[in-house]
A and B are shown apart, each in its own frame.
Chain A
Amino acid sequence: MGLARATGILLGKELRTELRSRELVTTTAVFVLLVIALFSFTFDPSSAESRRFGPGLLWLAFLFAASLMLQTCFLREQANDTLSGLRLCVGDPFAIFLAKLAANALFLLLTELLLLPVFSVLYNVPILRVWPSLVLVLLVGDVGICLTGTGMAAISAQARMRELLLPLLLLPLLTPVLIASTEATAALLSENPVLRWDWLGILLAFDGVFLTVLWLFGEYLLEE
């Protein structure tokens, strides 16, 4: 069976499960909203200040939210050992990662799209004029987060203290994503918006490197 077909079937499963419970997207969205609201108490959200701190705070919120959201992706498979079931049926275990990666990146993007208007209103930052470029930055950044995130979630699910361990493993790895996506977002939200291809390049390089790593080493992450 082809990798693409297996990934498609598994992605369908992930989406159907989430559509049924809507747990992940709602919880993550509320978490990000909470962070945005709480952050506004730490500085004056006037237009100038927001432009300075806004993008960084936004991406930090996304990063923390993602590290919470990704916890469940392998823990759910442990409940009835469905992970073994998948491993028995799927020719290439990379399909399991690809499906989880795609599903989580989609959920994260959806959460972000829901909350960007709220952020824009609360922090007086206009986003409508740079909408398509912003979505591009979000997408490339989210893929990077979820690439390393699914890998680390597969590791932490097999360890003790997994809830604490996942952010510990994941967040330092995501330093390049945090810097590049924050800078790219800041450039888009500035007075004279530009799409910074150099930062997008770093993000794409990150995605490329870790997609390859996951493709090469993913199957070992699922061994028992």
Chain B
Amino acid sequence: MTLGDSAVGLRCSQLEKRFGNLVALRRVDLEIAPGETVVLAGHNGAGKSTLLRLAAGLTRPTSGRVFIGTAEVREPGSARAVGFLAHQTMLYDELTAKENLVLFAKLLGVPEPVRRAENLLAEAGLGERGDSLVRTFSRGMRQRLALARALLSRPRVLLLDEPGTGLDAGGLAWVAGTLHELHRDGVTTVMSLHSQPELAAVATRAVRLQAGKVAADSAAGQALDAVLGMGAC
């Protein structure tokens, strides 16, 4: 899928997702311009994860549409220019860190998969542990590796579900630094956050979801910190 480098943002139009009786998203309209770094705030069950999974193409919307760039997201494989970090790590416990990255790099068709994997491992501060099984990793190390996995294909759009989970101060600093760099390179990032001011500091915009609807948006005039509800979020 070609995204047209100049216009790789994300757009939801009348996006709705129900799980049986439960309405996760109610006709959400949201437009994110290329290069923005957006924080999705909101309580548990507000629809943040659902929005990200829909944007990645993993879940089918009940109605409405999602666009990455100008192309509509229809199935997960079509959105390979998108990097996705899910709530779960999407890593194989029974493979080593390097094997995990090389496997996904090869599937993504990344050129020189082994070198790319090694570089990312070093960046994530896991260079020493590349040949250990993921089973032996701590939660924080898994999270670093999961984020490295999402970055494999040098995506133009990055969707991150709670990127700060399980990270120590060093880990958070690394993620914040990486996000900053990506922002400078013009990558569009959408991430859901709970309580990491370190990461929220990188944001250029904040959107608060409540009961499946956009409740506040800093692009609509409110102050970014007010939308985040800093301290409470």
Binding site for B on A (CB under 8 A): 1, 6, 9-10, 13, 16-17, 20-21, 79-82, 84-93, 219, 223-224
Q: Which of B60, B76, B104 has the most CB of A within 10 A?
A: B76
Instruction: Say whether A80 contacts B60, CB under 8 Å.
Output: no
- Tell me if A6 and B107 are in contact (CB < 8 A): yes
A219 touches B75 (CB 8 A): yes
A94 to chain B, nearest CB (A): 11
At the interface, yes or no: B90 with Cβ under 8 Å from chain A? yes
- What are 14 contact pairs spanning A and B, CB under 8 A? A9-B103, A9-B107, A80-B90, A82-B91, A82-B92, A85-B90, A85-B149, A87-B58, A87-B76, A88-B56, A88-B80, A88-B84, A90-B77, A223-B60
Distance, CA A90 to CA B53, complexed state (A): 16
Closest-CB distance, B139 to chain A (whole angstroms): 12
Smallest CB-CB separation from B84: which chain A residue?
Answer: A88
* A9 partner residues in chain B, CB cutoff 8 A: 103, 106-107
Q: A79-B93, A82-B92 are in contact. Are A89 and B108 (CB under 8 A)?
A: yes
Instruction: List chain B residues, Cβ under 8 A from A6.
Output: 107
Evaluate contact between A80 and B58: CB separation under 8 angstroms: no
How many angstroms between the C-alpha atoms of A125 and B15 in the bound complex? 65
Additional A-B contact list (20), CB under 8 Å, known A16-B95, A84-B58 = A1-B107, A6-B107, A9-B103, A9-B106, A17-B92, A17-B95, A80-B88, A80-B90, A80-B91, A84-B90, A85-B90, A85-B149, A87-B77, A88-B76, A88-B79, A89-B77, A89-B80, A93-B77, A219-B75, A224-B59
At the interface, is chain A mostly helix, strand, loop or mixed? Answer: helix
Whether B93 lies near A85 (C-beta < 8 A) is no
- Provided the pairs A81-B88, A89-B80 are in contact, do residues A21 and B94 lie with their beta carbons within 8 angstroms? yes
Q: Is the C-beta of B177 less than 8 angstroms from some C-beta in chain A? A: no
Known: A9-B107, A89-B108. A84 touches B86 (CB 8 A): yes
Enumerate chain A residues within 8 angstroms of B94, measured Cβ to Cβ. Answer: 17, 20-21
Give B104-144 interface residues, CB cut-off 8 Å to A.
104, 106-109
For the complex, is B217 an interface residue (Cβ under 8 Å from A)? no
Interface of B is mostly: loop
A contact residues around B108 at 8 Å (CB): 89
- Please, which residue of chain B has its CB at the minimum distance from the CB of A91? B77
Q: How far is the CA of A13 from the CA of B53 in the complex (A)?
A: 25
Instruction: Determine the chain A residues whose CB is within 8 A of the CB of B149 once the complex forms.
Output: 85
Asked if B195 is an interface residue, CB under 8 A from chain A, the answer is no
B95 and A13 within 8 A (CB): yes
Residue of B nearest to A6 (CB): B107
Kindly state the separation between the CA atoms of A84 and B108 in the bound complex, as whole angstroms.
14
Tell me which residues across on chain B come within 8 A of A91, comparing CB atoms.
Answer: 77
Min CB–CB distance A154 → chain B (angstroms): 15
Within the complex, the shortest CB–CB distance from A47 to chain B, in Å, comes to 45
The yes or no answer to B162 lying at the interface (CB within 8 A) is no
In Å, the complex CA distance between A92 and B76 comes to 10
B76: nearest chain-A partner, CB-CB: A87
* Chain A proximity of B75: nearest CB distance (Å): 7
With A80-B89, A84-B86 given, is the CB distance from A90 to B107 under 8 Å? yes
**A85 contacts B60, C-beta separation under 8 Å:** no
Q: B16 interface residue, CB < 8 Å from A?
A: no
Known contacts A1-B107, A9-B107, A13-B103; is A88 also within 8 Å of B92 by CB? no
Nearest residue in A to B90 (C-beta to C-beta)?
Answer: A85
Could you say which residues of chain B place their CB within 8 Å of the CB of A223?
60
In the complex, how many angstroms separate the beta carbon of A210 from the nearest chain B beta carbon? Answer: 23
Bound Cα distance A81, B161 (Å): 14
Q: Once the chains bind, are A80 and B99 in contact (CB under 8 Å)? A: no
- Complex contact B86–A89 (CB within 8 A): no
Q: What are the residues of chain A within 8 A of B92 when measuring CB–CB? A: 13, 17, 80, 82
Chain B: CB-nearest residue to A23? B94
Please report the C-alpha to C-alpha distance between residue A16 and residue B107 in the assembled complex, in whole angstroms: 16
Interface centre among A1, A82, A93 (most CB of B within 10 A): A82
Query: Across the two chains, which residue of chain A brings its CB closest to B102?
Result: A9
Between B86, B87, B92, B95, the greatest number of chain A beta carbons within 10 A of the residue's beta carbon is seen for: B92
